[in-house]
Every structure is written in structure tokens, then in C-alpha cells.
Amino acid sequence: MDRFADRCALVTGAGSGIGQQITRQLLDQGARVVGADLDPAGVPSGAIPLRADVSDEAEVRELVRAAGAELGRIDALFNNAGIGSTANVLDSTVEEWDRVFAVNVRGVFLCTKEVLPQMLARGGGVIVNTASVAGMIGLRDRASYCASKGAVIALTKQIAVQWAGDGIRCNCVCPGTVDSPWVARLTASAPDPAARREELIARQPLGRLGRTDEVAAAALYLASDDAAFVTGTALVIDGGIVAA
């Protein structure tokens, strides 16, 4: 399948989990890809790995310049890098709150701000943000994370409406609990990791965790011409958590 033949993509958080899978599937479907990450060692071979912190304005500017130089243009931007939190409003520190927003929200803002001008100049482009069901429902001890992903969903809609007449589509995926290194770290830090994992699985209406390739497939759908009439949407891939 060559859905992305001759397309050029920039994926953030491409060194692990969902971003790694998005990168692999883009490569498999014919795209040329720059994979950006704080730690680009895990960016799949075939993609061009670049190191950048998406929360840092100067680093994002340099990333987009370098990606443009490598690829010639950017047709698709996947704002996927993100970090979590394990605190509620009372025990969250201001530093933790600000860091989560810096990566999860400012990162989407900065990457979009740098990439959009070239998309507009060429008459089009697609942006896919990785939000979360945490932006739609309240999760215990995830105050900054839930708020930040709610902001990503709102920003997705705003960008979609703002540039709809200019050939730009902007959508987001909202994964539930996905079996990425992130969730592995979360369960590993519990007093009984196996029990914690079972607990997570027990919450899933479909009876299992999601897979990174399932989220990536949804992200690629949104970026593809199959979704030509889809913009401003938040596509939930969560095994039924939100419905329940």
C-alpha cells in the first residue's frame, strides 16, 4: 500500500511507542519521514532522526528548518510527543504542571506554528495531534495531563476551523490505555506491577490494552486522502472506555 508515496512527514516523539509506530507505518506506505525526539536513538531506520525538545521554541525552529532541508517540504505533521503526570490538583507542583503543559500543549503550538507557513504557501497539508481520552474524561491523579490533552483537542478544532479554507486539515487521535513503553513504566513503578497491569486490563470494555500499531493506523487514516472530508475531529481509539 503506497498511500503516502511522495509524501513527506515530520513525526515528533518518534523514538518510542506510538510515534515509532506512526513512523514505521508511514515508511511502509511510501513516505519520507523525519523522526524527532528528545532521544532519537529509537527512531526507526529508514527515517531521518533529529534530536529536539518540542517545548523549546529555538529547538523547534531549528528542527523544522532541518526537516525542511532534508525532505524539501512537509506534507504531514504528527504532533505526537507527550509526557504524563501522576498528581491531582492538591499534590501537583507548579513545576510539574508547567512542564506537562510545555511539552503537551506548547509543543503542539510551536511545531504547528513553524510548519504551517510552508503548508499554506504550498496550498495544503495535514496535521494529526496525539491527544488522549484523558482530554475527554476525568482520570484519577492526572490533573495536568487531563487538562493538557483537553487543550490539545480544543486547539485541534481551532486550527481546523482557522485554516479549513486553505487546504489544511487538522485532527487528533484520542488513545485509551495503549501498551507502549510509557504504560510499561507506569505498571513497573507500581508495588505489584502484574496486579497493576491486570487492573488496567480489567477497566477495558474490550478486555485488553490497545496496541501502538492500532493508534498509528488511526493517525495515518486521518493524514491520508481517505479522510479528505474529515477535519477538526477527535478520533477515539480506546477499547470502549469513553463509551462506558
**What residues from 197 to 236 belong to the interface with ligand NAD (CB under 6 A)?**
none
Residue 31 beta carbon to ligand NAD: minimum distance, rounded to whole angstroms: 19
Number of residues near ligand NAD (by CB under 6 A)? 28
Q: Residue 152: which of 101, 85, 216 has the closest Cα? A: 101
The one among 7, 9, 11, 17 contacting ligand NAD by CB under 6 A: 17
Residue 24 beta carbon to ligand NAD: minimum distance, rounded to whole angstroms: 12
Complex with ligand NAD: residue 118 or 204, whichever CB lies closer:
204
Q: Quick one: which segment of 37-45, 67-75, 109-117, 223-231 binds ligand NAD (CB under 6 A)?
A: 37-45
Active site residue 221: no
Q: Residue 130: which of 55, 218, 68 has the closest Cα? A: 218
Report the interface residues with ligand NAD, using CB under 6 A. 12-13, 15-19, 37-39, 52-55, 80-83, 103, 130, 132, 175, 177-178, 180-183
- Residues serving a catalytic function are 145
